[in-house]
Structure 1
Amino acid sequence: MKASRLFGLRRLLQSPFQCRRNSILSQEPSGSEMKTEIPGPKSKELVHALQKTQNALSAIFVLDMEQSVGNYAVDVDGNILLDVYQQVASVALGYNHPAIQKVFQDPKNLSLLVNRPALGIHPTPKFIDQIQRTLLPIAPKGLEYTQSMMCGSCANENAFKAIFIWHASKIRDGKPFSEAELRSSVYNKPPGCPTVSIMSFEGGFHGRTLGVLSCTHSIPIHKVDFPSFDWPVAPFPRYKYPLEENERENREEDERCLARVSILYNRLR
């Protein structure tokens, strides 16, 4: 690698850390600080008020978003907590990162924030440029296309759809949809809605919309009362630790799970 490229790479790798160290870590609290129990009195009062207009049973405390910085969340009672949850892992750079604030304050981005565009139908020139500059350069080798989605659940749902379309297209072999497929699909019946499935694994969590919920097998309360697809569920290896002291047991666990996967696959293929 040429010296100029190496120097440029080093600057690229160092600059986010430098920005974070100077502008975020200097503002972060030195540690957690508990002023009340959790939830505190203000959180209890506000959650009670919220419960009058919507289901707030999952709310633990009320967050003071403006006071939260970096890795630390601050609630309305002034409690400071090291946040390992980070809004379901959606705050990758921590709370109130100045670089993110700068992007949102940029007048050039205002129209996207105000108008909430349906980019799949009406893409903007800036969106096209951003996709080409950001996602495609880091795409896995051999993948030339990208599809942006709103969340993890809908990303998985649409991945399922893409798999089903690919599978049906192979079987159809270039032929158009039949009249029977078109008519039956409206009533959730084959051949329009084929009896194919996705194999998932015990303990997995892939989202809480109805499709991916059929592949989620972790917390019962997430699933109870909801209809699900009758899709195969295979065991997932549960290793013993330390690994180096349990190699034989873990190898047997792998073999047990693979054998069950093979049975399910051959039964349903």
Structure 2
Amino acid sequence: MERKERDRLSVEWVKLELLRTAYATRGGLLARMDARVVIGWYLIFAVVPWLTHNITVLAGLFLLCSVAVVLSRVGPLILGLFVIGFVLESGYVLVASVFFGGDLATVLAMTELTLKLGTVSLASMAAFVSLDPEKLSDALLSLHAPAMVSFGVSYGYRMLPILMEEFHTVVDGHRLRSAPLPSAGLLGWRVAARTASTVVAAFYPLMLNTAKRTRTTVEALETRGFTYATEHSDGRRIRLAYLRVGARDVALLAGTVLLVGTVFAVGARFPLHAVLPG
């Protein structure tokens, strides 16, 4: 069991989790929707929290996005990083209020900002974990984003595994050429220092090898007419022909608007300041 837990926290596990997140391999509710609808759903939760100061409403929006994260099957790595950041942010609110002369109004103001940022972060995780590079690129192209923006998004996602592979290759080369440490040192400081120096030394070879692969990939795409196909009307029509907004997509947006409206109605009926002392 101990070895299994150690393997789950290895660099290889982190790499696989990032790839699963980037390529939307977990499925989930939003992964079955039209990519343009998912972007619209995300924009609702990215904009609406900034239109209110009612903490009850913000808590309701936060709860809705939390349910969406569960239904979207966000991986443990991304979710764990969010939870750690959210807990630290909440602790910072309390520390700032207690030790810097704040009062209840300060706590509420900090809580409001934390809930807004948390809601947008949860919506981002639920939406973009559900979109693979191809779907996201095609959705942006369908929404008349510049062709180079669409290409950049798609290409950036595809460079992620190449970057990871090159990083492993360079780091493994440094480890093979380095003498083993005589001891780990107090609290493993020698291991930490060796790791940090190896990562810094791997930066330039990583960029050089990636640039070589980038040039090869771009030239291969251009010889196949990628740029012409994204800019020509016939090419765009063929590429985007599979995008369809169905009944479930409309139901998703309608249900989201209905739930958001319900949250605002409840927040107006039971504002937080009405139940707080004073």
Common topology (TM > 0.5): no
| TM-score with structure 1 setting the length | 0.21
Task: Specify which structure has the higher proportion of helix.
Answer: 2
Structure number with larger C-alpha Rg? 1
